[in-house]
Structure 1
Amino acid sequence: MADPYSVLGVPKTASEDDIRKAFRKLAKKHHPDLNPGDKAAEAKFKEISQANDILSDAEKRRRFDAGEIDATGQEMPPRGFYRDHAGGFGGAKYERSGGEEAFVDMGDIFSDMFGRARGGRAGPGGFSFRSGGAEGFDMGGMPVTYSLRVPFLAAARGGKQRVNLPDGKTLDIDIPEGTTDGQTLRLKGQGMPGAKGGPAGDAYVEIHVDPHAFFEPRDNDIHVELPVTPTEAVLGGRIRVPTVGGPVMLNVPAGSNTGTSLRLKGRGLLDRKSGQHGDQYVKLKVVMPDKPDDALKEFLEKWEAGRGYDPRQSMEQFT
């Protein structure tokens, strides 16, 4: 994967706000919901999401800048460790593959000593995992850590996500409602198999939530900018509004303007600790028709009251 700073188009000195703005601009442009069937846009969206996952997290960004993790978030070997030219027991050699670094052929060495152990591997579809270490003689299997990206609404609403594991097995994972980015789920008995018939270890799935095309989460609240017509803004009325739980009807007061904020109580994300839902805040944005409307144009030309105010008057004191 390319350098995350280059992917988002920001310098290494970029602030958190700069990174957030750059990501949201690119996400809106390449989001799959806004580019149906466009595989290039889908691939680009995954790339910028991965870059944002690194740079928006202060600790991950520090570790990336320090060379402790790579652009995919995977661990880098300690400095001074054996590299591509280095050898090991029995001719085992270090190599870099699929964006991750690992020792190859080490399984035979550890199987002679302790049983069988595996290093990190990259699974299909961006689903990655790594084992917890070497297994004992008759101990249970070691735990495995997975990383899984899920759509925003799947995390918000909950439900099952089917994934293909690196060993070819298909697994349906229950995503709880209100799952947040970075949350880890435990899958009992889905880790490495135990030695000599011992029980399998557990799997731990770290969830990374993809951003949505227009829903912006802030804690458990949802913020969305909603386009409205001039008629809806001036005269008011009931309009259909999308929420994470499905569309609802919203009363728009007469005389609303761009920037008017309305609240939908309890239409935000579930707080799993309190069991309560946040709210959804709808910010109105008055949008003119794409094509000129002759009747509207004629009305405005004759609308004398419209000449009696200056919406930019307050800006004069700053110039």
Structure 2
Amino acid sequence: MKHDYYEVLGVEKTASEQEIKQAYRKLARQNHPDVNPGDKGAEERFKEATEAYDVLGDSDKRARYDQFGHAGTDPNSGGFGGAFGGGDFGGFGDIFDMFFGGGGGGGQRRNGPTRGSDLRYDLTIAFEEAAFGVEKEIQIPRHETCSECQGSGAAPGTHPTQCTECHGSGQVKVNQRTPFGMVQTARTCPTCHGEGQMISSPCKACNGQGQVRNVKSLKVSVPAGSEEGLNLRFSGSGEGGKKGGPAGDLYVVLHVKSHKFFERDGNDIYCEIPITFVQAALGTEMEVPTLDGSVKMKVPEGTQTGTVFRLRGHGVPYRRGSGRGDQHVRVVVATPTKLTDKQKELLQEFADTTTQQQQMGKKSFFDKVKENLRDAIG
């Protein structure tokens, strides 16, 4: 029995494409056969994760899976996989064309309520806005139910009438010769185009379509701790439904601008601070920029370039729960340039009065070699 693909990848059903990709990459690295030679369990988990990503990583396959489950993506399941995937019902496409007028769907009546399409809006926000949250007002162009005709498509005071050709069914029966003899098939009514009804006096506001194009203003609350690729779902804010059908949903996809000073990894942020040779040697207390403003950070004497200091609680707030990540500050010792003769003389005097170990701040390579030789000799 196949497991739920979302459970296989360990993500929610509302997960973004980026979240699905990250989850798959993590599982693939953990369970790859090259990393786990001879481990059949890891190999099976790798195959299962790959199969899940093959479906959820494709927007069309994912939509079919969400609606029909495994049958929506597996052409061998006897379900809807072949039909919705552009297949031919296991090789019988031509026969279905003969009997049902094109894949079995050509004769369906279309005059019932229809759900509106989902919409996507890409919203770009600043680094700090993603960290602490922000409220944005966006403009969404979409189709909405016509207020003049209430979605009927008929002019006010009139009503659609039943199609006299198909008597409201949206289909007409046609005799067709096939290799099996003369058969009767159902086709879309050419008069009402499958709607089952006719509009003699179309609404002027929507030209008989039942919908009008409009721009909706929507306030989007971006939660603190948001990150690149996060999907925010707004139920009922997508395209309007037809003939009384529900509206689709709106998905706001976040894009976060890079910062000139900070880099982010999860809820931790990283930065690099230059310090002078004197500050590194003697120690200092310095102002360090954070998301909350400058804070004092103590640099002990003898600090080496590349040393990383942690400022607890100065990272990005957690989107779920309380607390924040940390800020990691990497110091880089700057080498002085454009020295005067006097400064060079003082530095040379410093060099003459100190050992190489003192200048390096640690044992030199040659000191370690000498120690190893002494230990070997005993």
Normalising by structure 2, report the TM-score.
Answer: 0.45
Deviations 1:74-121 (A, max 9, x none): 85899x969xxxxxxxxxxxxxxxxxxxxxxxxxxx9x9647xxxxxx
SS of 1:281's equivalent in the other structure is strand
Q: Give the whole-Å Cα distance in 2 for the aligned partners of 1:293 and 1:163.
A: 56
Q: Residue 116 of structure 2 is aligned with which of 110, 135, 141?
A: 141
Give the greater-gyration-radius structure (CA). 2
The letter of the residue matching 1:182 is G
Counting only pairs closer than 5 Å after superposition, residues 268-287 of structure 1 correspond to structure 2 as 268-287=315-334
1:183 to 2:158 alignment: no
Partner in structure 1 of residue 298 of structure 2: 251
Q: Give the whole-Å Cα distance in 2 for the aligned partners of 1:175 and 1:296.
A: 54
Deviations 1:280-317 (A, max 9, x none): 1212111235x413254332122123454363855457
The letter of the residue matching 1:252 is V
Are the aligned partners of 1:215 and 1:223 in contact in 2 as well (CA < 8 Å)?
yes
Q: Give the whole-Å Cα distance in 2 for the aligned partners of 1:296 and 1:74.
A: 65
1:292 to 2:267 alignment: no
Q: Give the whole-Å Cα distance in 2 for the aligned partners of 1:306 and 1:154.
A: 50
Are the aligned partners of 1:238 and 1:249 in contact in 2 as well (CA < 8 Å)?
yes
Partner in structure 1 of residue 284 of structure 2: 237
Q: Residue 254 of structure 2 is aligned with which of 207, 217, 223?
A: 207
Pairwise CA distance, 1:177: 0.7
1:155 to 2:126 alignment: no
- Tell me: CA distance 1:76–1:229, structure 2 relative to 1, closer, same or farther (3 Å): farther
The letter of the residue matching 1:150 is I
Partner in structure 2 of residue 305 of structure 1: 353
Percent sequence identity over aligned pairs = 35
Are the aligned partners of 2:356 and 2:364 in contact in 1 as well (CA < 8 Å)?
no
- Tell me: CA distance 1:140–1:74, structure 2 relative to 1, closer, same or farther (3 Å): closer
The letter of the residue matching 1:257 is Q
- Tell me: CA distance 1:198–1:263, structure 2 relative to 1, closer, same or farther (3 Å): same
Counting only pairs closer than 5 Å after superposition, residues 25-104 of structure 1 correspond to structure 2 as 57=22, 59=24
Pairwise CA distance, 1:279: 1.5
Are the aligned partners of 2:224 and 2:318 in contact in 1 as well (CA < 8 Å)?
no
Q: Give the whole-Å Cα distance in 2 for the aligned partners of 1:162 and 1:139.
A: 29
The letter of the residue matching 1:293 is L
Pairwise CA distance, 1:267: 0.6
Are the aligned partners of 1:157 and 1:244 in contact in 2 as well (CA < 8 Å)?
no
The letter of the residue matching 2:282 is L
SS of 1:271's equivalent in the other structure is coil
Specify every segment of 5 or more residues in structure 1 that has no aligned partner in the other structure, as ranges.
Answer: 1-52, 63-67, 83-109, 116-136
The letter of the residue matching 2:353 is A
Q: Give the whole-Å Cα distance in 2 for the aligned partners of 1:143 and 1:75.
A: 12
SS of 1:234's equivalent in the other structure is helix
Pairwise CA distance, 1:187: 2.0
Deviations 1:249-287 (A, max 9, x none): 222223322122222121111123331112212121112
The letter of the residue matching 2:293 is G
Q: Give the whole-Å Cα distance in 2 for the aligned partners of 1:155 and 1:314.
A: 45
Deviations 1:211-237 (A, max 9, x none): 434423333222222222223323333
Partner in structure 2 of residue 98 of structure 1: none
Q: Give the whole-Å Cα distance in 1 for the aligned partners of 2:254 and 2:304.
A: 39
Specify every segment of 5 or more residues in structure 2 that has no aligned partner in the other structure, as ranges.
Answer: 1-17, 29-53, 62-72, 74-84, 88-105, 143-214, 370-378
Q: Give the whole-Å Cα distance in 1 for the aligned partners of 2:343 and 2:110.
A: 81
SS of 1:267's equivalent in the other structure is coil
Deviations 1:163-186 (A, max 9, x none): 454556554422111113333212
After superposition, the CA RMSD in angstroms is: 4.3
Q: Give the whole-Å Cα distance in 1 for the aligned partners of 2:22 and 2:258.
A: 15
Q: Give the whole-Å Cα distance in 2 for the aligned partners of 1:241 and 1:281.
A: 11
Partner in structure 1 of residue 239 of structure 2: 192
- Tell me: CA distance 1:253–1:313, structure 2 relative to 1, closer, same or farther (3 Å): closer
- Tell me: CA distance 1:164–1:252, structure 2 relative to 1, closer, same or farther (3 Å): farther
- Tell me: CA distance 1:170–1:305, structure 2 relative to 1, closer, same or farther (3 Å): farther
1:223 to 2:198 alignment: no
